[in-house]
C-alpha cells in the first residue's frame, strides 16, 4: 500500500521521486509489518535527447516480525538506466544496469554440467565465460520506434538476459527474457499493450489505458 508519494521537479533537467509503502502480513494470530522506500532521480539533457536515471527500490525496515525474528522486508535493488533518441531516426534505445547491489547473479545448476551420455564429456565453464555471463546478466536492452507523422503509433521491444538465463531450458530455445508491444494514441487517449516471455509454459500480457485529464479542462485565463 502506498503511504506517501512524491514527485518533484528540481529544475528543467532534474526530477526526483519517492514512494513510501506500508507492508503487512498475517498468519493465524501472528502478524508482521514494515516500511519500504522506493526513490529515484532522473537527469535529462534536452539538446542531446539523452536521459539518465538512478533508483533504489525496496529500501526497507521491519516494524514487527513473526516470533521476533528480524529479516529484510523486501529485497533491495539498485538500478541505473540510460535512454537516447537518435537524431535522424524516430528511435529511442534504452540501456539498463540491474542489481548493482550484488555482483554475482549466476545460478549454476550442477545437473546442467553433467552429461547423460557415456560417449560425451560433461560441460564446463571457464573463469572468463563466468565473468562474461555474470556481467551480461546485469544489463537490459530495449527500444521504442515511433511511426506516423505525429508519432501516434509506437513499437516496443526489449531483452532481459538475467531472466533469459534463469528461466532457460537445457538444449531447448524458449525465448525467455524477450518482450514486445505497441502503443497507439487516438485523440487524447493512449492504449498500450505488451507481452513478456518468461518461460516455455507461457508469459504475461500487459494492457494500459491512459489520458491527461487536464487536456479536457478549458483554460479561461
Q: What is the mean pLDDT of residues 194-212?
A: 90
Question: Other CB atoms closer than 10 Å to residue 127's CB: what's the count?
Answer: 7
**Is pLDDT at 2 greater than 70 in this prediction?**
no
Residue 4 lies in a domain: yes
Residue 79 lies in a domain: yes
Map residue 42 onto helix, strand or coil.
strand
pLDDT at 159: 95
Could you read off the pLDDT of 77-98 as tens digits, one per residue?
999 999 999 999 999 999 999 9
Could you read off the pLDDT of 132-182 as tens digits, one per residue?
888 999 999 999 999 988 889 999 999 999 988 888 777 777 788 999 999
Could you read off the pLDDT of 170-193 as tens digits, one per residue?
777 778 899 999 999 998 899 999
pTM comes to 0.75
Residue 215 lies in a domain: no
pLDDT at 189: 93
**Nearest in space to 102 (alpha carbons), one of 63, 141, 72:** 72
Pick the residue with more confidence: 13 or 115?
Answer: 13
pLDDT at 166: 84
Residue 118 lies in a domain: no
Residue 101 lies in a domain: no
Give how many domains the chain has, as a whole number. 1
Residue 65 lies in a domain: yes
Could you read off the pLDDT of 16-38 as tens digits, one per residue?
999 999 988 888 888 888 899 99
Complete edge-to-edge strand list for the sheet that includes strand 178-186: 2-9, 14-27, 30-45, 50-64, 77-85, 91-97, 139-147, 153-159, 178-186, 189-199, 202-211
Element (H, E) at 186: strand 178-186
For the chain, the C-alpha Rg in angstroms (whole number) is 22
Q: What string of H, E and C letters represents the secondary structure of 78-145? A: EEEEEEEECCCCCEEEEEEECCCCCCCCCCCCHHHHCCCCCCCCCCCCCHHHHHHHHHHHCEEEEEEE
Residue 7 lies in a domain: yes
**Is pLDDT at 76 greater than 80 in this prediction?**
yes
**Nearest in space to 75 (alpha carbons), one of 36, 104, 39:** 36
Residue 30 lies in a domain: yes
Q: Which domain holds residue 36?
A: 1-85
Amino acid at each position: 500500500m502506498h503511504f506517501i508519494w512524491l514527485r518533484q521537479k528540481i529544475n528543467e533537467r532534474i526530477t526526483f521521486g519517492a514512494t513510501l509503502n506500508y507492508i503487512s502480513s498475517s498468519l493465524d494470530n501472528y502478524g508482521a509489518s514494515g516500511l519500504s522506500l522506493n526513490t529515484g532521480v532522473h537527469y535529462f539533457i534536452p539538446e542531446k535527447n539523452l536521459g539518465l536515471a538512478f533508483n533504489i527500490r525496496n529500501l526497507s525496515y521491519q516494524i514487527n516480525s513473526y516470533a521476533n525474528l528480524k529479516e529484510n522486508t523486501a529485497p533491495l535493488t539498485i538500478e541505473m538506466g540510460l535512454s537516447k533518441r537518435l537524431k535522424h531516426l524516430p528511435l529511442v534505445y534504452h540501456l539498463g544496469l540491474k542489481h548493482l547491489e550484488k555482483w554475482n547473479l549466476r545460478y549454476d545448476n550442477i545437473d546442467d554440467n553433467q552429461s547423460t551420455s557415456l560417449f560425451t564429456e560433461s560441460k564446463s565453464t571457464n573463469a572468463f565465460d563466468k565473468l562474461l555471463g555474470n556481467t551480461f546478466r546485469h544489463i537490459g536492452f530495449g527500444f521504442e520506434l515511433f511511426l506516423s507523422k505525429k508519432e501516434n503509433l509506437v513499437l516496443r521491444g526489449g531483452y532481459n538476459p538475467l531472466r533469459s538465463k534463469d528461466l532457460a531450458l537445457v538444449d531447448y530455445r524458449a525465448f525467455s527474457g524477450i518482450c514486445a508491444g505497441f502503443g497507439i494514441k487516438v485523440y487524447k487517449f493512449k492504449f498500450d499493450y505488451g507481452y513478456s516471455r518468461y518461460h516455455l509454459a507461457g508469459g504475461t500480457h500487459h494492457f494500459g489505458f491512459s489520458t491527461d485529464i487536464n487536456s479536457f479542462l478549458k483554460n479561461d485565463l
